[in-house]
Amino acid sequence: MSNFLKVAFTGMLLFAINEASFCEEKHDFQNTKNLDIFFNLYKQLDQYYVDSIKPEKTIREGIDAMLESLDPYTNYISEDELDDFKFLTTGEYGGIGSMVSSHKGNIYISEPYENMPAAKAGLKAGDLVLEIDGKSVKSKSISEASEMLKGQPNTTLKIKIQRGEKAKPQIITIIRQKIVISSVPYSGVIGDSIGYILITSFTDKTGEEFKTAFLDLKKTKNIKSLIIDLRGNGGGIMEEAIKVINYFVPKGMEVVSTRGKVKQWDRVYKTTSEPLDTQIPIAVMVNRGSASASEIVSGALQDLDRAVIIGDRTYGKGLVQTTRPISFNGSLKVTTAKYYTPSGRCVQAIDYTRRNPDGSVGTIPDSLTHIFYTKNHRLVRDGGGVTPDIKIADDKFPNIIFYLMNDFLVFDFATQYASKHATIPSVSEFAISDTVYSEFKEFVKSRNFTYDRQSEKALKDLEDVTKFEGYFEGAEPEFKALKAKLTHDLDKSLTIFSTDIRQLLGSEIVRRYYYQKGQIAFSLQNDKEIKKAIETISDSKSFANLLTTPVK
């Protein structure tokens, strides 16, 4: 290298170093400047604002607004909120083991968990909660009532409840316990020797719970194929998702990688253990509610051509969060990286760095996504969740379903039914008979039930527009005829949508007798997506072709 080139190169290097140093100093100055502005601004407000300012409320709102401008997953967790955060990652808390619901200012027991303190003490779904430890819960929110029920294990709790409108209130004493909610609440056999495992979240126990369920199905049920249901699973701990993948792919295979600002934290995750089964055919069920760790599992098994993915496109959360401790026992859950499936794609659907003028963000259009390839050279894309190999759009429930649920009519009828029937047939034999459905229809009518008819609303809006534009007079006869056909008819609606309503009603009633497992088993019987998965996985030739045929 000539002396001139050496001097030029040295000059460029020094310039780059000085430039980087200048940028870093400028960034540090901006941090110091703006933090000083914030501190002095709050100090002035605290001293001179006309009313008293609560620092914990005002500053918390400022923190939340700051973090909200980044992404929905970067959050401040105060010391008071750590127990709730711990529950999300471990499924553990101290309490009685029951869900509660709220309707018209009243708190009800909605689901006592099987074999837990609430159920053992005799609490039933539908019980009206009047007091908790002598304190009224009237007009309390669900979160407020839940907090009153929680507490240290082995502490005593007294709940005053009323079972039925005319029944005398009674006090039930319960001893709180450590409650552990399983992230794998159901497993069983469906179809012809097809195993089914539902994963509702990824906590620190998911890997072991899944392993136990799978090995039990193999050894005692002799299953020949497997359906993993991740529908509605919003994710959780990434390492637990990797464990589930590891059970079905060879040791030493890359399943996910993470990349972020701090390069020392970038990692490539490979399977570290010998698998449980590398041959069993697998179908993975997903939908719009499947996110994060669920997408790591479905994305990796798809990229490695180890499973057929069935359902609707997943949510598209390709961001990784890390929890960092901060002062006063708080924590910052901060997005530190993006994750990438084995093919190299990131499923993140929203770019939070590119916001519209109003602050909103939109999903990445398909035209801006990129092509990647699976192990067998099948085409997959980034930027919008995991696209299933077999697409099935989520069912759109009729409008009346929402209002029946919102008005507690399904819940109340199930409570009434359970009070009159000590037992019901097994889950596989139970069904809503015509007699029971007729009773439900009369029950709904007796409550003077009304619901919002979107078709009538749309017609009214169209009528207003045509009047404004001067076209209504010529179309008035057609409007009158259409309005007559769309006249609110509750009995007709209950008949038209009876299939969906019967399923919902049956599910709620079954839950009163067979708890969550029974409810899940009942719902699976008429699940069209599960039926499609059974059909797909049962055709071995077609199933194999789905995983081996390259897409051009």
Instruction: Check if the beta carbon of residue 356 is closer than 8 Å to that of residue 348.
Output: no
Is 292 a known active-site residue? yes
Instruction: Check if the beta carbon of residue 255 is closer than 8 Å to that of residue 270.
Output: yes
Q: Residue for token digits 């601004």?
A: 41
Instruction: Check if the beta carbon of residue 73 is closer than 8 Å to that of residue 334.
Output: no
Q: For residue 93, how many other CB atoms are within 10 A of its CB?
A: 20
Two structure tokens written together for 542: 């077609």
Is 367 a known active-site residue? no
Beta-bridge partners for 202: 236
Instruction: Check if the beta carbon of residue 90 is closer than 8 Å to that of residue 183.
Output: no
User: Would you tell me the crossing angle of helices 399-406 and 498-524 to the nearest 10 degrees?
Assistant: 70
Helix/strand/coil for 232 = coil
Is 434 a known active-site residue? no
In 469-486, which positions are buried (b, 16+ CB within 10 angstroms) versus exposed (e)?
Answer: eeeeeeeeeebeeeeeee
Calculate the dihedral angle through the C-alpha atoms of 504, 507, 512, 514, rounding to the nearest 10 degrees: 180
Looking at 388-503, which runs of residues are DSSP E strands?
390-391
Contacting residues for 26 by C-beta, under 8 A, at least 6 apart: none
In 317-347, which positions are buried (b, 16+ CB within 10 angstroms) versus exposed (e)?
Answer: bbbbbeeeeeeeebbbbbbbbebbbbbebbb
Beta-bridge partners for 91: none
d(CA 204, CA 216): 20
Residue 172: phi, psi to the nearest 5?
Answer: -115, 130
Beta-bridge partners for 333: 75, 323
Range list of H helices, 470-527: 472-485, 490-496, 498-524
Distance, first Cα to last Cα, the chain:
49
Helix/strand/coil for 330 = strand
d(CA 247, CA 501): 39
d(CA 307, CA 305): 6
Residues in the chain: 552
Q: Which of 140, 205, 243, 317 is catalytic?
A: 317
d(CA 350, CA 362): 6
Helix/strand/coil for 49 = coil
Q: Which of 71, 127, 229, 303 is catalytic?
A: 303
Q: Which of 102, 292, 294, 298 is catalytic?
A: 292
- The region that residue 122 occupies, defined by phi over 0 for left and psi between -120 and 50 for alpha, beta otherwise, is left
Instruction: Report the catalytic residues.
Output: 292, 303, 317
